[in-house]
A = this chain, B = another copy of it.
Amino acid sequence: MNVFIIGTGLIGGSFALDIQEQYPEAKIFGIDQNSDHLKEAKELGVIHEAVTFDALSDADIVFVAIPVNATLSVLTNVLDAVHDNAVVIDVGSTKQDICEIVKEHPKRRNFLASHPIAGTEFSGPKAAMKGLYQQKTNIICEVEKTAFKLQERALELFSKIGMRIRYMDPISHDKHIAYVSHLSHISSFMLGKTVIEKEKNERDIFDMAGSGFESTVRLAKSSPAMWAPIFEQNKTNVIETLEEYIGNLQKFKELMQENNFQAIYEEMENTNHIKNILNGIR
């Protein structure tokens, strides 16, 4: 089985590592426009061989694990290049534009739209890790548009590396994911910005910040090259979440200004309920 990983970073590289373990006979080919990453991925054993798009006709499975704007640029070319029995899987954090761009493609049935809910704030081949997908959810969109035997091949692979599958339409995916993922990233980036702007003396941040600050700004380490295109493709939903978030912050501020600390208490108490939700995630 020839597996092609387009984008040998955290997400693509972690698939490569788990596939090597589950399919010892698989040969892993890497494609990356960043030649340093490609070299690094080879050296780290994430991929077996560095190739270019020209080699795609040999692929049985292709993972497209690059920023979502780059996926929009290359996806139809990838489908053009693969043979009739290959499955091309994208793993981007937006699904609507990506499903739209391949809608009329003659090889639409060779494509599977997915979003593995997994990752860290790090990027590049060094960030790839075995077992990243263990017990994580993979959201698959428009599964009925993928050829049945290719669905089977992809689902067997996801199952072997420990993923749970959930099916969803691309519009619902983009709407929900704006709340539970995209908004968290903006909240974190802007929190980091607010503190950095204020605390010109970093020593003060080092000394006074604890694990709480660290936890809330962790996502502000994330890659802008990955996230700017996600916000662009999910613009309408993300703006809606931002408006609701800003509205809630504004209301909290007004309650403070009115010295209504009983209401502040209740706001927090109602949200404490998040404990149960987070227990459900684990």
Contact = CB atoms under 8 A, between A and B. Distances in A.
A268 B221 CA distance: 9
A254 to B, nearest CB: 10
Contact of A246 (B193, B205, B249, B280): B249
A207 B244 contact: no
Contacts of A44: none
Given A137-B208, A181-B209, A264-B228, A277 B187 contact: no
State the copy count for this chain. Answer: 2
A183 interface: yes
A184 to B, nearest CB: 4
A268 to B, nearest CB: 4
Nearest to A204: B176
Given A179-B195, A183-B195, A281 B209 contact: yes
A235 interface: yes
Interface in A200-229: 202, 204-222, 224-225, 227-229
A23 interface: no
Contacts of A177: 208
A53 interface: no
A198 B176 CA distance: 9
28 contacts: A121-B212, A139-B207, A180-B213, A183-B195, A184-B191, A184-B215, A187-B216, A189-B252, A189-B267, A190-B245, A190-B252, A192-B271, A193-B270, A194-B241, A194-B248, A196-B271, A205-B280, A212-B219, A216-B219, A221-B274, A222-B268, A228-B261, A228-B268, A231-B256, A235-B259, A238-B256, A242-B249, A242-B253
3 A-B pairs with least C-beta separation: A224-B268, A206-B280, A228-B265
